[in-house]
Amino acid sequence: MPELLFHPDTTEEIKSSFDWYQEQVKGLGYDFVQELEDAFHSIQSLQQTWPKIGQYHRRFILSRFPYSVIYRTVDENTIYVVAIMHNQRKPGYWNDRN
């Protein structure tokens, strides 16, 4: 299974979303993280399945939360997660992340 690498800003994206969901309903932040973990596993298993967004990136849309995982395949052993993007805020803000 390919290794997942993460852009440094994804940590803050996940943390701030987790905190916001936890403030809304206790435990909802953990549900968000669980859905992200499921998404990461799916991406590792079937990395070419999700639609392209731009020339190099792909987008996995979460089903329960309004977020997408933006990633690119580096090689057959490595996937780089570029952003955990809210679907209604600043589309494309991650475009200059490498």
Q: What pTM did the predictor assign?
A: 0.93
pLDDT for residue 20: 97
Asked if 84 and 78 touch (Cβ cutoff 8 Å), the reply is: no
Q: Does domain 3-86 correspond to CATH entry 3.30.2310.20?
A: yes
pLDDT band at 97 (very low <50, low <70, confident <90, very high): confident
Each residue's pLDDT tens digit, 60-91 = 999 999 999 999 999 989 999 999 999 998 87
SS3 category, 66: coil
**Domain ranges, ordered by start, for the chain:** 3-86
Measure the CA–CA gap between 17 and 37, rounded to whole angstroms. Answer: 14
